[in-house]
Amino acid sequence: MIKKICIFGIGGLGGFYGGKIASAITKGNNNYEVFFVGRGEHLKEIQNNGLILNTPDEKEIVCKPAKAIDRCAQLPEVDIIFVCVKEYDLQNAIKDIAQNCKQNTYVVPLLNGVDIYERVRENLDDGIVFPTCVYISSAIEKPGTVTQFGGNGIIHMGKDPRYLEVVPEDLFNLFDETGIKFDWLDDAFPAIWEKFIFMAGFGLYTAYSGKVFGEIIASEKAKQQVRDVMNEVYALSKAVGVELSETIVEDSLNKASGFDYDTMLVTIAEGTSK
């Protein structure tokens, strides 16, 4: 049963989900303790005053973890670890996490990429690792403050290929009790590839052009260039045997309308930029 929760990385992504959990605890849910692992001025501000979370529905939510620290060695034994770091920090993060990970510890990596599960497993033999993806635009607005700009925040997750018999009902309860939306899948990899198609198309084009989502959607030329990238990734998914809808490219293009007009870059799930 989940009691102690670690949010490893408290930037835009970890700050959003960690904030949701900490806020629920602050409001009277005594079933859990949540610990933040972070760094820099952001961590210092959280240690002194708690995390401030802003969402489209609610502002200035004060979120106070049981403890905010800079490395896993300072943690008690935890039941679940949300990995919310950037891709380039993943291997170092997993090496740190490994010292606190037992055979039945849940690990939820919330990063962009179709190979994150495999890369986690390169340095983590223990634990139950749920392949996962999310759509959210959130960022550190200033030290101690995280703001969600767009995206529905739903966590799409599925079974660990090593432990197909594990269906984490206690994790579902945690999400329900803390107001985190989720979608449970027997196989999460099609959802992960679907997101990768979206991120590759819009991420590459916004990085190349400097245009925001609203500008891309308004331009047929820009949309076609994004579509061309998405079609390349779709072909790759078919080559590796991932079954996706034949309409996935057009569905992915249409998905951008759910974000703020000025959303850009490749950080929609890793939470560092508008």
pLDDT truncated to tens, each residue of the chain (274 aa)? 899 999 999 999 999 999 999 999 988 888 999 999 999 999 999 999 999 999 999 999 999 999 999 988 889 999 999 999 998 999 999 999 998 899 999 999 999 899 999 999 999 999 999 999 998 889 999 999 999 987 789 999 999 999 999 999 999 999 999 999 999 999 999 999 999 999 899 989 988 999 999 999 999 999 999 999 999 999 999 999 999 999 999 999 998 887 778 876 544 444 443 3
Q: Are residues 171 and 52 in the same domain?
A: yes
What are the tens digits of pLDDT across the range 213-247? 999 999 999 999 999 999 999 999 999 999 999 99
Residue type, 181: K
Nearest to 205 by CA among 238, 236, 233, 167: 233
Same domain, 32 and 146: yes
Identify which of 75, 95, 62 has the alpha carbon closest to the alpha carbon of residue 34.
Answer: 75
Could you tell me if 95 and 44 lie in one domain?
yes
In terms of domains, do 89 and 222 share one? Answer: no
Same domain, 133 and 216: no
Q: Is residue 268 part of a domain?
A: no
| Residue 10, token pair as written in the block | 């408290």
Same-domain pairing of 196 and 250: yes
- Please give the Cα distance from 163 to 4 (Å, whole number): 22
C-alpha to C-alpha distance for 220 and 87, rounded to whole angstroms: 32
Report how far residue 95's alpha carbon sits from residue 99's, in angstroms, rounded to the nearest whole number. 7
In a domain, 179, yes or no: yes
271, part of any domain:
no
Based on the domain organization, do 48 and 96 belong to the same domain?
yes
Within a domain: 273: no
- pLDDT tens-place string over residues 150-196: 778 999 999 999 999 999 999 999 999 999 999 999 999 999 999 99
Q: What is the three-state SS of the chain?
A: CCCEEEEECCCHHHHHHHHHHHHHHHCCCCCCEEEEECCHHHHHHHHHHCEEEECCCCCCEEECCCEEECCHHHCCCCCEEEECCCHHHHHHHHHHHHCCCCCCCEEEECCCCCCHHHHHHHCCCCCEECCEEECCEEEEEECCEEEEEECCCCEEEECCCCCCCCCCHHHHHHHHHHCCCEEEECCCHHHHHHHHHHHHHHHHHHHHHCCCHHHHHHCHHHHHHHHHHHHHHHHHHHHCCCCCCCCHHHHHHHHHHHCCCCCCCCCCCCCCCC
Do 128 and 209 share a domain, yes or no? Answer: no
Q: Which of 232, 236, 266, 231 is nearest to 250 (CA)?
A: 231
| Separation of alpha carbons 166 and 269, rounded Å | 25
Please give the tally of structural domains in the chain: 2
